[in-house]
């Protein structure tokens, strides 16, 4: 499935996905090129050419027709060279047909070539097995699995890019299930054809059990790392919802936002008391801010629900609330006397009335103002801290890239060591 960069470039996480995809694809291509001798370039090129022509074939499926991808077959035939081969094919498709964009090339290569390599190592033995039935079954599985894995990767990319793409991601996944069956059937047919006509095109039986096992493990490890880092770099908790609230005057003011800092508008916020009784509800404005007027002095549990299973919670403790509210709960030493210092704004028109109990009003008002100012600053600080924790930073991306390069280096080092002995 070719994604165009226009789909993903609207949010920071989307751009991060594009970059991470590009880096991972570059790593895979580097490995593929390294394993390809100069003399093998014509063979890989001709196979790539053949697959490009094949991708023009439309196979009927129900009322519509779908064009063939066959990345599982590419993987079976080419192994790691599937990365450079599919990169070239996708580049040509982008430039000649406008399928997918230039900037999304890396991501699209990753979603097609990584499953190809996985299927190579999973099924290479089975397709050259003695029993034809087993080989055909393996061919079917290779074709279908490669397609499904590719769809899974594309869907993950969309999902990570933003909550708004979740439904699209699920749709993409669903659409590919039917196609996967067709791909599997055709791959099985090609495998049985090649077994009869030119068996040497299929991967030769591996050098020996230990070498094969080790190399398969290496490959799976590497691909697994690529995918894991790909997910982690782009903030796997991309859709985590956060809610923060603080007391200003006599209202609870709060904000709801997503990991990465995007504000969450039109989200329902429900307020519960410690016993679970609903105290009230409100909705955030387009910038994610909301207000709630507390009437009881107790812990207020705020639950923000953005739908689709995203929810967040925050508790405003009773101690933060203005004291002159309803049935008081256990008084903590820090509480100010109930009839003064209600945290009312000095400018509030009701303030003079509340100070009518005869306490040294001015001194208390002063104290109240200072406490108010202090709590405002602390609230702002805490909010900043919270937001900062949730931000996706450049360091995260660079760290992820560092992981990929490090694992690559390790694999090359180990591989080189083997050659030297």
Partner 1 sequence: MATAPQQPPWLGLPPLAVRVAWMDTLDPRGRMAAAVLVSAALAAANQLLTLVIALLTAAAAVRLARMGLRTAFRRLIPVNLFGLVLLLVLPLSTAPAPWFSVGRVGYSREGLLLALVIAVKANAIVLWIMALLGSLDTVRLGHALQHLGVPGKLAHLLLFTIRYLDVLHGEYLRLRAAMKLRGFRPGVNAHTYRTYGYLVGMLLVRSADRSERIVAAMKCRGFRGRFHVFHRFAFAPRDVWFAAGIFLILVSLELLEYS
| Contacts to partner 1 from residues 233-272, by CB under 8 A | 264-268
Q: What is the largest CA-CA distance in the chain?
A: 104
Of 58-66, 237-245, 291-299, 351-359, the segment contacting partner 1 by CB under 8 A is 58-66
Q: Kindly tell me which residue out of 59, 204, 217, 378 binds partner 1, with binding defined by CB under 8 A.
A: 59
- Between residue 362 and residue 401, which ones bind partner 1 under the rule CB under 8 A? none
Nearer to partner 1, 169 or 365 (CB): 169
Tokens of 408: 């690559």
Residue 10 in the binding site for partner 1 (CB under 8 A): yes
Cβ–Cβ < 8 Å for 143, 70: yes
- DSSP letter for 134, please: H
Of 161-169, 207-215, 339-347, 354-362, the segment contacting partner 1 by CB under 8 A is 161-169
Q: How far is residue 23 from each of residues 15, 232, 305, measured CA to CA in Å?
A: 12, 14, 36
Q: Kindly tell me which residue out of 126, 138, 190, 365 binds partner 1, with binding defined by CB under 8 A.
A: 190
Q: Kindly tell me which residue out of 182, 220, 296, 303 binds partner 1, with binding defined by CB under 8 A.
A: 182
DSSP of 230-275: HHHHT-TTTT-EEEEEEEETTEEEEEEEETTS-B--S-EEEEE-TT
Sign of torsion over alpha carbons 280, 286, 288, 291: negative
User: Smallest distance from the beta carbon of 278 to partner 1, in angstroms?
Assistant: 18
Q: Kindly tell me which residue out of 24, 69, 126, 188 binds partner 1, with binding defined by CB under 8 A.
A: 188
Q: Which of 42, 20, 302 shows the shortest CA–CA distance to 153?
A: 20
d(CA 127, CA 115): 17
d(CA 397, CA 97): 32
Q: Kindly tell me which residue out of 16, 70, 247, 397 binds partner 1, with binding defined by CB under 8 A.
A: 70
Nearer to partner 1, 85 or 126 (CB): 85
Residue 287 in the binding site for partner 1 (CB under 8 A): no
Residue 9 in the binding site for partner 1 (CB under 8 A): yes
User: Smallest distance from the beta carbon of 106 to partner 1, in angstroms?
Assistant: 12
User: Smallest distance from the beta carbon of 243 to partner 1, in angstroms?
Assistant: 15
Cβ–Cβ < 8 Å for 241, 289: no
User: Smallest distance from the beta carbon of 247 to partner 1, in angstroms?
Assistant: 27
User: Smallest distance from the beta carbon of 413 to partner 1, in angstroms?
Assistant: 21
User: Smallest distance from the beta carbon of 328 to partner 1, in angstroms?
Assistant: 37
| Cα 299–chain centre separation | 34
Residue 165 in the binding site for partner 1 (CB under 8 A): yes
User: Smallest distance from the beta carbon of 5 to partner 1, in angstroms?
Assistant: 5
Residues binding partner 1: number (CB under 8 A): 81
Residues paired with residue 316 on neighbouring β-strands, in sequence order: 300
Sign of torsion over alpha carbons 69, 73, 77, 78: positive
- Site mask, partner 1, residues 15-54, x = CB under 8 A? x-------------x---x--xxxx-xxxxxxxxxx-xxx
d(CA 321, CA 161): 38
* Backbone dihedral angles phi then psi of residue 185, each to the nearest 5 degrees: -60, -45
Helix (H), strand (E) counts: the chain:
12, 9
Nearer to partner 1, 264 or 379 (CB): 264
Of 80-88, 115-123, 290-298, 413-421, the segment contacting partner 1 by CB under 8 A is 80-88
Q: Kindly tell me which residue out of 13, 108, 154, 187 binds partner 1, with binding defined by CB under 8 A.
A: 187
Nearer to partner 1, 39 or 349 (CB): 39
Residue 79 in the binding site for partner 1 (CB under 8 A): no
- Between residue 94 and residue 133, which ones bind partner 1 under the rule CB under 8 A? 94-99, 101-103
Outline where DSSP puts E strands in 54-190.
58-61, 64-67
Residue 66 in the binding site for partner 1 (CB under 8 A): no
Return the axis-axis angle of helices 209-233 and 394-420, rounded to nearest 10°. Answer: 170
- Site mask, partner 1, residues 298-327, x = CB under 8 A? --------xxx-------------------
- DSSP letter for 393, please: -
């Amino acid at each position: 499935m070719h994604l165009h960069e226009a789909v993903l470039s609207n949010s920071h996480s989307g751009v991060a996905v594009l970059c991470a995809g590009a880096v991972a694809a570059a790593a895979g291509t580097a490995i593929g090129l390294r394993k390809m001798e100069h003399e093998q370039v014509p063979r890989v090129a001709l196979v790539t050419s053949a697959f490009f022509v094949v991708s023009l074939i439309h196979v009927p499926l129900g009322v519509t027709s779908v064009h063939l991808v066959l990345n599982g077959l590419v993987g079976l035939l080419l192994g790691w060279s599937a990365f450079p081969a599919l990169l070239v094919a996708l580049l040509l498709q982008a430039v000649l047909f406008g399928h997918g964009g230039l900037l999304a090339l890396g991501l699209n290569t990753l979603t097609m070539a990584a499953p190809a390599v996985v299927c190579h190592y999973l099924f290479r033995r089975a397709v050259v097995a003695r029993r034809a039935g087993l080989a055909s079954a393996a061919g079917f599985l290779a074709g279908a699995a490669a397609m499904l894995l590719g769809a899974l990767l594309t869907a993950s990319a969309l999902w990570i890019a933003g909550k708004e793409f979740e439904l699209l991601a699920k749709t993409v996944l669903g659409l590919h299930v039917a196609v996967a069956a067709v791909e599997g059937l055709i791959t099985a047919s090609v495998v049985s054809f090649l077994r009869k006509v030119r068996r040497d095109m299929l991967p030769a039986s591996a050098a020996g059990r230990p070498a094969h096992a080790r190399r398969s493990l290496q490959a799976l490890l590497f691909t697994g790392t690529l995918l894991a880092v790909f997910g982690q770099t782009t903030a796997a908790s991309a859709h985590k919802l956060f809610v923060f609230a603080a007391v200003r005057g006599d209202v609870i003011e709060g904000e709801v936002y997503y990991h990465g800092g995007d504000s969450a508008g039109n989200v329902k916020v429900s307020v519960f008391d410690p016993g679970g009784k609903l105290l009230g509800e409100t909705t955030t404005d387009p910038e994610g801010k909301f207000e709630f007027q507390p009437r009881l002095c107790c812990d207020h549990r705020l639950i923000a629900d953005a739908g689709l299973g995203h929810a967040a919670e925050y508790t405003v403790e009773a101690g933060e609330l203005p004291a002159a509210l309803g049935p008081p709960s256990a008084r903590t030493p820090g509480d100010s006397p109930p009839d003064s210092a209600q945290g009312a704004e000095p400018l509030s028109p009701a303030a003079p009335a509340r100070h009518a109990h005869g306490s040294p009003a001015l001194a208390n008002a002063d104290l109240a103002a200072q406490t108010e100012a202090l709590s405002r600053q602390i609230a702002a600080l805490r909010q900043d801290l919270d937001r900062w924790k949730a931000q996706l930073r450049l360091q995260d991306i660079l760290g992820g890239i560092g992981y990929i390069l490090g694992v690559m280096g390790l694999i090359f080092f180990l591989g080189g060591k083997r050659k030297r002995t």
